[in-house]
Amino acid sequence: YTIQLMKHTGILLTLVAALLFVACRTDNTSIQLLDQAETLMNAAPDTALALLDSIDSHRLGRADNARYALLRSQALDKNFIDITNDSLICIAVDYYAHSHNEPYKMLAHYYYGRILFNAGDYAHSIIELLKAEKVAISLDDMYRLGLIYSDISNIYDNIYWGEGAIEYAQKSYDAYSQTQYHRHCYYSLLHLGIKHFNYYNYTESEKLFKTLLTQVQEQNDTILCIETLTKLASTYWAVNNYNKAITAYNEAIKLNLDKDIIGAAQYSRLSSSYIMTDQLEKGLKYANIAYEKDTAEVWGLYLYNEKCGNIKEALHYLQKEILMQNEILDNITTQSVLKSVENYNLMEEKLYKQSHRYERALLIIIIITIIIAAIIRIKIVNADIEKSIALTHNLKNTLFVKDKYIEALQSDVNELFSGQFEMLNKLCAIYYEGNDEKKNIYTTYSSIKSTIKNISSDKQTISQLEMLANKHLNNIMTNFRSNYPNLSDDDNQLFLYLVMGFSPQAISIILNIDIKKVYNRKSSLKRKVCNVTDKDITQFAPFFGK
């Protein structure tokens, strides 16, 4: 009986062991698929992802599941599928944190940082990337360091901290320079130049783009040549060297052919370069191309219409430009500051539970840096917006004045101008009649009076008035000055106001003098003009009245 019991017990133990072996055994097919996916990851990431998708991860053991989580996260990233859910990569991060597989640990932190970047969690993303950096340094992996530093640079770029963006772009280039990945090295040099350009260091960006252009031309790399030429042209454009900008842009366009590498912003800058060199038709051509590619690119259309005197159209496009800048400012405020504060609160809770003092201190430093950088960038964008608003204000004033002149100078100049400024003349008349009730009405329009008085001291406005009078009345002011070169500036200004059809009351307000003096000065000027026998006064006499 004892022997029989032992036999049954042995059989039972054997069955249990077999079941345990089968239960713990990972499917060899899945392991082979993982190996193949890892092998193909760089050369054919789409195939690698398809292989990984065919694996049932629930049948994998803990180690293989962590490897699967890492490889699938990597494959998604390499296929430009920007996921924001960290549940998969966290499996790999948690497992490799306690393993001795340093390359996988580095990759786990790196791709965790990438996913957090996609989610807009910049502070936590930097922490993971710095963890990956630490391991990469220990492995002397310059290629991976180049990637890590590039991502950190992009984070700083997203939060508009130029110093950090440039520093890590330089580190990325230095790391790639120690590898055999020449194309990565070229692109890192391109990105370094772009970072300098973005933060107004044009001397350095020009030098870097010229260096890169020489290198890629030697390699006959057409795509990089186009990208480098457009960036170099943008640098010339930024420093108002429009002729060099045009030359560089046109070289890029010749290489572009059907590649469609040149973007809307580049065509917009080419357009403005042509316009600023008075090549308006070419400017309009490329402004339209830019607008077709991206309806937000309207700067060239604004400049063209402003240059051609189409003030209404120019104002329309400038207002669109301001709207876009406001959206940029809102984006900076929302994504940089508020998102950082939100991430800080979430990480505070997590770090409090985990009691990671070092990470907590590092996070606080990063958050403060992000907020300061965002505030600085907000001030820069605000300044740009204020500049555009000032341009809009000037255009509105010009549009108001120009519309009045065009309407007033179509047929009977005197009558039309009188009608155009009828309200102002009536207000002035009310003021001089002395009726207290009507004076109250005049007081209501005191701001109009103040504005009109400023005309006499605004040389730009006077010049604009004179230009429009010349345009619509056969160069009347130019002829007047030519015929009477000895007249004073005050006399010329008074005649301009008469040409514009202002009443004596209005002129008294503009010049801030008594109305009797207006009549006296007008009579005096009339004598100077009409009593000269050797001059043809046909063009001028009608403006003095009977």
For every residue of 434-490, which 3-state class applies, written as one string? CCHHHHHHHHHCHHHHHHHHHHCCCHHHHHHHHHHHHHHCCCHHHHHHHHCCCCCHH
Q: What is the mean pLDDT of the chain?
A: 79
- Mean pLDDT calculated for residue range 249-254: 93
Distance of alpha carbon 53 from alpha carbon 48, whole angstroms: 9
For residues 190 and 224, the answer to whether their CB atoms sit within 8 Å is yes
Does the model's pTM come out above 0.95? no
- Mean pLDDT calculated for residue range 227-240: 95
Integer angstrom CA distances of residue 452 from 402, 424, 462 = 15, 9, 12
Distance of alpha carbon 42 from alpha carbon 534, whole angstroms: 91
Q: According to the model, what pLDDT value does residue 338 have?
A: 41
Q: How confident is the model at residue 238 (pLDDT cuts 50, 70, 90)?
A: very high
User: Is a pLDDT exceeding 80 seen at residue 530?
Assistant: no
Does 360 or 511 have the greater pLDDT score? 511
Q: How confident is the model at residue 279 (pLDDT cuts 50, 70, 90)?
A: very high
- Mean pLDDT calculated for residue range 498-502: 79
Residue type, 326: N
User: Is a pLDDT exceeding 70 seen at residue 4?
Assistant: no
User: Is a pLDDT exceeding 60 seen at residue 216?
Assistant: yes
Read off the pLDDT of residues 135-147 as tens digits, 9 standing for 90 and up. Answer: 999 999 999 999 9
Does 161 or 201 have the greater pLDDT score? 201
User: Is a pLDDT exceeding 80 seen at residue 399?
Assistant: no
Q: According to the model, what pLDDT value does residue 337 have?
A: 44
Q: According to the model, what pLDDT value does residue 464 have?
A: 76
For residue 30, give the 3-state DSSP assignment: helix
Q: How confident is the model at residue 489 (pLDDT cuts 50, 70, 90)?
A: confident
User: Is a pLDDT exceeding 80 seen at residue 9?
Assistant: no
User: How far is it between the farthest Cα atoms of the chain?
Assistant: 153
User: Is a pLDDT exceeding 90 seen at residue 159?
Assistant: no
Q: How is residue 82 annotated by DSSP? A: -
Distance of alpha carbon 543 from alpha carbon 529, whole angstroms: 11
Read off the pLDDT of residues 105-121 as tens digits, 9 standing for 90 and up. Answer: 999 999 999 999 999 89
Distance of alpha carbon 199 from alpha carbon 193, whole angstroms: 10
Q: According to the model, what pLDDT value does residue 356 have?
A: 54
Q: How is residue 27 annotated by DSSP? A: P
Residue with tokens 């800048």: 325
- Closest to 116 in 3D by CA, of 172, 171, 65, 155: 155
Long-range contacts of 47-54 (CB under 8 A, 24+ apart): 48/75, 48/78, 49/75, 49/76, 49/78, 49/79
Q: How is residue 541 annotated by DSSP? A: G
Q: According to the model, what pLDDT value does residue 492 have?
A: 85
Q: According to the model, what pLDDT value does residue 331 have?
A: 56
| Helices and strands in the chain, H and E counts | 28, 0
Q: Which two tokens stand for residue 205?
A: 């960006």
User: Is a pLDDT exceeding 50 seen at residue 438?
Assistant: no
